[in-house]
């Protein structure tokens, strides 16, 4: 019961009004990125904003509805991918709850965790619904891995793992930058403003920690990939 009431607390009127705006931000940002011809999607900024400000379940709902509306209004091919968006919002929410949305290097970790989840969740969808090769450009990598004799699951997962982190980390950083630009009075109207309060610390140590974290993440990524491919 405590669980349900804590979810109810996250869904106040501000949350319900923010969700449509966040979905619209997802859609329009996705289109601006296409216009600028950048090699990322950035189509979950709104989902991450809601996840950080209004808790994991609100974020998950935003992600799911975002895909449903994308399918309803723009491209029906988007429907089957809603679990991925669900988990992007959920993981962002839990990371923010755990204090990983308070300074930019922590946001990089959030982005990495979200990317890992997205890679795991989208793999079975790609494999069982599309037989491994989907209609997106990164499928050429999958196809190459399949030709080298990889199993379908491994090939799809390693492709996602190569593509997702860049996209999700930049998405998380942009969402963080947007939150920093909003006034404290405005943020206080949402259910979880304490999630995004910036920590002030010595700049130099932060930078060293950040570089260390990035190196460790890259090493983990390399290790996982070698294990999968080897």
The contact set with other proteins (CB under 8 A) reads: 11, 13-14, 16-21, 23-25, 27-29, 31-33, 35-38, 45, 65, 68-69, 71-77, 79-80, 129-135, 139, 142-143, 146-147, 149, 174, 178, 181-182, 186, 189
| CB nearer to other proteins: pick between 24 and 229 | 24
Shortest gap between Cβ of 65 and other proteins (angstroms)?
6
| CB nearer to other proteins: pick between 143 and 220 | 143
Are 120 and 157 a contacting pair, CB within 8 Å?
yes
Distance separating the N- and C-terminal Cα atoms of the chain: 47
Are 56 and 93 a contacting pair, CB within 8 Å?
yes
How far, in whole angstroms, is CA 52 from its chain's centroid?
A: 11
| CB nearer to other proteins: pick between 29 and 217 | 29
Are 27 and 165 a contacting pair, CB within 8 Å?
no
Shortest gap between Cβ of 147 and other proteins (angstroms)?
6
Shortest gap between Cβ of 198 and other proteins (angstroms)?
18
| CB nearer to other proteins: pick between 33 and 228 | 33
| 149: alpha, beta or left? (left if phi > 0; alpha if psi -120 to 50) | left
Shortest gap between Cβ of 218 and other proteins (angstroms)?
21
Shortest gap between Cβ of 223 and other proteins (angstroms)?
27
User: Of 230, 209, 206, 77, nearest to 148 (Cα)?
Assistant: 230
| CB nearer to other proteins: pick between 73 and 216 | 73
CA atoms within 13 A on the CB side of 134: 20
Shortest gap between Cβ of 119 and other proteins (angstroms)?
20
| CB nearer to other proteins: pick between 16 and 223 | 16
**C-alpha distances in Å from residue 66, one per residue of 3, 40, 135, 218:** 25, 18, 20, 30
């Amino acid at each position: 019961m405590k669980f349900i009431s804590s979810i109810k607390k996250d869904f106040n009127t501000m949350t319900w009004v923010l969700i449509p705006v966040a979905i619209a931000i997802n859609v329009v940002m996705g289109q601006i990125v296409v216009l600028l011809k950048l090699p990322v999607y950035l189509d979950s900024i709104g989902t991450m904003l809601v996840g950080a400000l209004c808790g994991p379940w609100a974020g998950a709902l935003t992600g799911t509805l975002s895909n449903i509306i994308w399918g309803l209004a723009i491209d029906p091919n988007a429907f089957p991918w809603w679990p991925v968006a669900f988990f992007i919002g959920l993981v962002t929410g839990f990371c923010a709850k755990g204090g990983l949305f308070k300074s930019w290097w922590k946001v990089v970790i959030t982005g990495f965790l979200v990317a890992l989840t997205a890679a795991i969740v989208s793999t079975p969808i790609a494999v069982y619904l599309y037989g491994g090769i989907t209609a997106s450009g990164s499928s050429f990598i999958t196809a190459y891995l399949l030709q080298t004799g990889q199993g379908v699951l491994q090939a799809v997962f390693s492709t996602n793992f190569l593509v997702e982190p860049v996209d999700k980390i930049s998405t998380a950083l942009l969402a963080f930058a947007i939150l920093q630009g909003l006034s404290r009075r405005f943020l206080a109207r949402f259910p979880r403003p304490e999630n995004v309060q910036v920590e002030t610390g010595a700049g130099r140590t932060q930078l060293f920690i950040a570089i260390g974290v990035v190196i460790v993440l890259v090493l983990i990524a390399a290790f996982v990939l070698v294990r999968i491919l080897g």
